[in-house]
Amino acid sequence: MATHIPLDEIHGSQEMGEQTQRKLWLEVLHDWVTTVDHKKIGLMYISYALFFLLVAGFEALLMRIQLAVPNNHFVSPEVFNGLFTMHGTTMVFFVGMPILFGFGNYLIPLMIGARDMAFPRLNAFSFWISAFGGLLLYYSYIGGSGLYGAGSAPDVGWFAYAPLTAKVFSPGHSTDYWTLSLLLTGIGTIGTALNIVATIISMRCPGMKMSRLPLLPWLYLVTSGLAFVAIGPLTAAQIMLMLDRYLGSHFFDTQAGGSAVLWMHFFWIFGHPEVYILVLPAFAFANEIIPVFSRKAIFGYPAMVAASVGIGFVSLGVWAHHMFTVGLGAAENTFFVLSTMVIAVPTGIKIFNWLATLWGGKIQFTASMLFALAFLFQFLIAGLTGIMLSVAPFDWQLGNSYFVVAHFHYVLVGAILFMVFSAFYFWYPKMTGRMLSEKLGKWHFWLFLIGFHLTFDFMHIPGLLGMPRRVYTYEADRGWMIWNMIISSGAVVQAVATLLFVYNMVWSYFKGPLAGPDPWDAWTLEWTTTSPPPSYNFAETPEVSSRRPLWDLKHPDDPDSDYEIGPSRRSRAKKESQ
Amino acid sequence: MNSEGVEFQVSHPNQEHGLHLPSPTAWPVVLALGLSLLLTGMVTNVAVSVLGVILAFSACVGWFRQVLPEEAHQAVEVHAEPVPVFTARRLAERRPEDATARKILPVETFLITSGIQGGIAGGAAMTVPAAIYGWVKYHSIWYAVNLLAAGGFVSWIGASNAFLSEFHLRGLLAALVIHGITSVLVGLLYGAMLPMFPRYPIVTAGVMAPLLLTGILHSAVAVVSPILDHRIDWFWFVASQIAFGLVCGFVVNLHAKVRTPQFQALPFSVRAGLHSDIDDRYHDESSDSDGEGTSR
């Protein structure tokens, strides 16, 4: 927590400023490695996630080349197993979570008017242990050995079902690398979640009641709560697996009285809330970006908060819809069918509220907004295929097919990644002080959109035709070739678009126009400070009286506090009516 | 900057000259490295774990010494320049506040008793197609009654057609309770829903809602009890649902609506809260003073 000191205690600050401009790269590296500044840690999270995005994207490309034509042997089956395991694990644990925690780290203190996170050192520790977890996973390519001693990376799939993970079926250490790296990153996730909750609860600036908290921190609060609950079972399961593999216990060994289904329960009790841990921050970005580019306040703020909290709770009770094909029984299936369908209600509320925010607004089609609009449409489709799969008999037919792969990629790419791109275009100016090129941004958008729909729209079809997920290759007479060729072509287009995005980020960092503190004419507190913000965030602790403090500042004649329904407003209205 | 924009500055009259922020420290990264090496030793060499333990222990000691008894801080100078911010929205006259700015939805509704009466009437109407179905197919009006009672007596689901076609007092009572409660609850729902349908509420509620409900039940019953699913004739089920919907909707609609305090004769978009009628009236009165760029 920052404390105020008088000026005379600051020794040689001017010389320090001059020296900063002449820093050696080693000093810069030292600064970043030892920093506890939430903004630098946020940027490190984001950079680390972007690196792994490129790695995991490359793995996906290799898989798509392998599947583009029948009877292909571009890579060996062993390598293919490693590719889909590493792609899934990396995207979920080392791209999705770090990038979202990175934005959260950067934005939450700024949005609530704080100078840092509640526990800055824990924040740094959480980042570094997550980062080392990722490095350990990829060290397996050098140090591990896989199924039947073949290959070196983990190759048991990203949800690593028992008994495939047992020592007898998965000798060597490749599965251990997978387990240990997730244990490490789990510690980091818990640390960051704890920090976010503590920061939001205890460090809001004067006047920022929970009813005035911007929706982004609100959703990160729910996400962090979910992370608390969800990471525990995963960690417990990983430890049990380690005990099975190292000490000869039999938690998941069915032949010795253990249960393979137990692993599935533990994994999916984590795994489905994990989807919401990833998608709620994407919702959070939409909640901030759509209103700004619609030039309207968010529609239905209380309903949005309630829906987010509702999603948080319901998402803890839907995990077994991943297990309909196990044969849980009619009553259990019915419960999870209904709970999965119920989650569509708060999600639907959100979609309607975003649409209502757009309704009648003066929409600005910036690159950021284009990604957000595509997110709205694609998330709707993802939700609809989710409802289809939530019906147990339908799932019995299409479970473990490419239809499922298409569905969850529609969520992870069509919703989450699109909103991450949108967030980059929106907050990059704040983070770097430079605008991203809008022209390149729109090229990026359209190319990525085309690539995405070529890949994931058509991916539903081979699924419906019976193509199983994780299949290494297929016979020509199956009729899947044309669809796989289209899917793989789309993947190449997405790769080109992603490289364009990376180029835009690098080019704009050096050559982009200066952003200024508030390039979007926005309304939340992060836009009241310089771009990039100073280490202390705000020269003076802000004081707010509405959900849009910068609106109030810009329009003192017409402040939001006159309109927002809250206890004070209600009591005033009651007095007026009397 | 937009030439029509209005520029402001975030000034800091009470600004502090300097601040204390937490000092940079290497101990978090050392602790993270130590714990990572500790686990990495499990898959490489025990020496790696030993190194990890040493690093982790050193990091804990270093970390504690940095925060105990007092947290280490570094002094940071605060720059005094005010931050310029602007808005593209031209300043305009403030719109007059109006009591109708906030709507209570729905703007008009039925009394609770209307829903209860509608539910009872609909429930009675529903028995007619159900009885006809039983008579046509099994020559007994009790078949549908006993099938519904199977909701209370699970073993009846697998009973013979002859058993279900007979009169059972227990079955009649169970069916009455299930049917009565469900009908009243759905009637109350209709009473709340009907005012929200913009057009032909009875047809919408009487046909569309039963079709949707049947779809949901059809998919759910197939999972919950395939035997019961097999015994239900879904065509007749839809017919009885529609009979309920039409009669219940008609009865509810016979009653006078009660206006909520802020009732207005407004289009649907206004009733849903998407638009406020203030905008239209305001435009009519002073179209030239509209704010540019931003609206609430």
pLDDT at position A8 is 44
> Are B24 and A36 in contact (CB < 8 Å)?
yes
Distance from CA of A103 to the nearest CA of B (A): 20
B180 — contact with chain A (CB < 8 Å)?
no
Instruction: Categorize the per-residue pLDDT at A9 as very low, low, confident or very high, splitting at 50, 70 and 90.
Output: very low
Nearest CA-CA distance, residue A457 and chain B, Å: 26
Q: Does residue A230 carry a pLDDT above 60?
A: yes
| Residue A3 in this model has a pLDDT that exceeds 70 | no
Query: Contacts of residue B102 in chain A, CB cutoff 8 Å?
Result: 565
Least trusted range by pLDDT, from A182-191, B173-182, B205-214: B205-214
> What DSSP line would sit under A253-279, residue for residue?
-GGGT--HHHHHHHHHHHHHHHHHHHH
Min mean pLDDT across A545-549, B178-182, B205-209, B230-234 is at B205-209
Q: Which residue has the higher pLDDT, B204 or A281?
A: A281
Q: Is pLDDT at B108 greater than 80 in this prediction?
A: no
User: Of A134-143, A223-232, A243-252, B184-193, where does mean pLDDT reach its minimum?
Assistant: B184-193
- Check residue A571 and give its pLDDT: 53
User: Contact at 8 Å (CB) between A133 and A184?
Assistant: yes
Q: Cβ-count burial of B81 within 10 angstroms (0-12 exposed, 13-18 middle, 19+ buried)? A: exposed
Confidence of residue A1 (pLDDT cuts 50, 70, 90): very low
- What pLDDT score was predicted for residue B257? 78
- Tell me which of A421-430, A458-467, B192-201 is least confident: B192-201
Token pair listed for A386: 């989710």
**Structure confidence at residue B259 as a pLDDT band (50, 70, 90):** low
- Give CA angle at A212 (A211, A217), nearest 5°: 95
Chain B, residues 83-102, CB within 8 A of chain A, namely: 83-89, 91, 94, 97, 101-102
CB contact under 8 A, B294 and A116: no
Phi-psi region at B56: left, alpha or beta (left = phi > 0; alpha = psi -120 to 50): alpha
For residue B26, what are the CA distances in angstroms to A31, A32, B60, B103? 10, 10, 11, 57
| pLDDT for position A554 | 87
Chain A from 226 to 265: CB within 8 A of any B CB: 242, 246
Q: Quick check: B39 and A184 CB within 8 A?
A: yes
- Token pair 């004070």 is found at A568
DSSP reduced 3-state for B71: coil
Say what angle helices A330-342 and B209-224 make with each other, to 10 degrees. Answer: 140
| Pair B190, B60 in one domain | no
Q: Cβ B22–A539 below 8 Å, yes or no?
A: no
Domain assignment of residue B279, yes or no: no
Q: Would you say residue A24 has pLDDT above 90? A: no
Question: Would you say residue B96 has pLDDT above 90?
Answer: no
pLDDT at A445 over 60: yes
B49, B134: one domain: no
- The residue with greater pLDDT, B220 or A510, is A510
* Number of compact structural domains in chain B: 2
Averaged pLDDT score across all residues of chain A: 90
Q: Does domain A41-577 have CATH number 1.10.1750.10?
A: no
Cβ contact B76–A550 (<8 Å): no
Per-residue pLDDT, B109: 75
Domain boundaries, chain A: 41-577
A555 touching B (Cβ < 8 Å): yes
Domain membership of residue B11 (yes or no) is no
At B21, which helix (H) or strand (E)? Answer: strand B18-22
| Residue B97: predicted pLDDT | 56
Other CB atoms within a 10 A radius of the CB of residue B268 amount to 12
Distance from CA of B68 to the nearest CA of A (A): 13
Q: What is the pLDDT of residue A433?
A: 94
- B6 part of a folded domain: no
Q: Are residues B68 and B202 in the same domain?
A: no
Q: Do A360 and B275 touch (CB under 8 A)?
A: yes
Between residues A278 and A141, which one has the greater pLDDT?
A: A278
Q: Best of B23, B33, B74, B76 to disrupt the A interface by mutation (most A CBs within 10 Å)?
A: B76
Closest CB to A2 among B20, B35, B294: B20
What pLDDT band is residue A305 in, cutting at 50, 70 and 90? very high
B279 pLDDT more than 50: no
State yes or no: pLDDT of A12 exceeds 70.
no
Position B282 scores a pLDDT of: 42
Is the confidence at residue A559, as pLDDT, over 90? no
* A362 vs A376: CA distance, rounded Å: 18
Handedness of CA A30, A31, A36, A40 (dihedral sign): negative
Kindly list the strands in the beta sheet with A3-5, ordered across the sheet, starting from the edge strand earlier in the chain.
A3-5, B18-22, B73-77
Q: Which of residues 411-440 of A touch B (CB under 8 A)?
A: none
How far apart CA A239 and CA A253 sit, in angstroms, is 14
Which of B19, B98, B104, B216 to probe by mutation at the A interface, max A CB count within 10 Å? Answer: B19
Report the Cα–Cα distance between both ends of chain B, in Å, rounded. 22
The proportion of chain A whose per-residue pLDDT surpasses 90, expressed as a percent, equals 79
- The pLDDT score that the predictor gives to residue B198 is 63
The Cα–Cα gap between B206 and B208 comes to: 6
Under 8 Å CB-to-CB from A173, ≥6 apart: which residues? Answer: A140, A143, A144, A145, B43
pLDDT exceeds cutoff 50 at B2: no
A10–B77 CB contact, under 8 Å: yes
Residues B247 and B146 in one domain: yes
Query: What was the pLDDT predicted at A14?
Result: 47
Summarised one tens digit per residue, pLDDT across range B147-161 is 888 877 777 877 888
Average pLDDT of span A449-458: 97
Return d(Cα A572, Cα B296) in angstroms, integer.
21
Please indicate, yes or no, whether residues B116 and B71 belong to a single structural domain of this protein.
no
B46 touches chain A (CB under 8 A): no
Query: Which residue does chain A place closest to B279, by CA atoms?
Result: A360
pLDDT bin (cut points 50, 70, 90) of residue B194 is confident
Q: Which of residues 327-356 of A touch B (CB under 8 A)?
A: 330-331, 333-334, 337-338, 356
CA distances in angstroms from B175 to A228, B156, B159, B167, B183, listed in the order given = 46, 12, 16, 12, 12
**Would residue B3 count as lying in a domain?**
no
C-alpha span between A351 and A360 (Å, rounded): 16
Is the pLDDT assigned to residue A291 strictly greater than 90? yes
**Average confidence (pLDDT) over A68-83:** 94
Closest CA to A141 of A167, A119, A174: A174
Which stretch of A48-52, A142-146, B185-189, B216-220 has the lowest confidence by average pLDDT? A142-146
What ipTM was reported for this prediction?
0.90
Q: Tell me, yes or no, whether B148 and B249 share the same domain.
A: yes
Q: What is the pLDDT of residue B201?
A: 74
**Which residues of chain A from 495 to 554 reach within 8 Å of chain B, CB to CB?**
516-518, 521, 527-530, 534-536, 539-540, 550, 553-554
Is A532:A39 a contact under the CB 8 Å cutoff? yes
Residue A182 has pLDDT above 60, yes or no: yes
In chain B, pLDDT over 70 holds for what percent of residues? 74
For A576, nearest residue in chain B (alpha carbons): B99
CA distance B222 to B238: 16
CB contact A195 to B (< 8 Å): no
Asked whether the beta carbons of B224 and A330 are under 8 A apart, the reply is yes
Of A429 and B97, the one with more pLDDT:
A429
For residue B38, the enclosing domain spans 18-77
Minimum CA–CA partner of B45 in chain A: A143
Give the list of residues 6+ apart from residue A543 with CB closer than 8 angstroms, or none.
A205, A206, A207
Cβ atoms of A550 and A522 within 8 Å: the answer is yes
| Facing A9 at nearest CB: one of B75, B94, B269 | B75
DSSP string, A291-358: HHHHTSPPTTHHHHHHHHHHHHHHGGG-GGGGGGGG---HHHHHHHHHHHHHTHHHHHHHHHHHHHHH
- Is the model more confident about A143 or about A355? A355
Minimal CA separation from A496 to chain B, in Å: 33
CB A460 within 8 A of CB A487: no
What separation, in Å, do the N-terminal and C-terminal C-alpha atoms of chain A show? 46
Cβ of A132 under 8 Å from any chain B Cβ? yes
For residue B85, list chain A residues with Cβ-Cβ distance below 8 A. Answer: 517-518, 527-528, 550, 553-554
State how far the Cα of A554 lies from the Cα of B1, in Å rounded to an integer. Answer: 15
Q: What tens digit of pLDDT does each residue of A474-506 get?
A: 999 999 999 999 999 999 999 999 999 999 999
Contacts of B18 (CB under 8 A, 6+ apart): A4, A5, A6, A7, A9, A10, A13, B75, B76, B77, B78
Distance from CA of B117 to the nearest CA of A (A): 29
Q: Smallest Cα–Cα separation from A163: which of A181, A175, A145?
A: A175
What pLDDT, in 10s, does the model give residues B31-90? Answer: 999 999 999 999 888 999 999 999 999 999 999 998 888 888 888 888 767 777 777 776
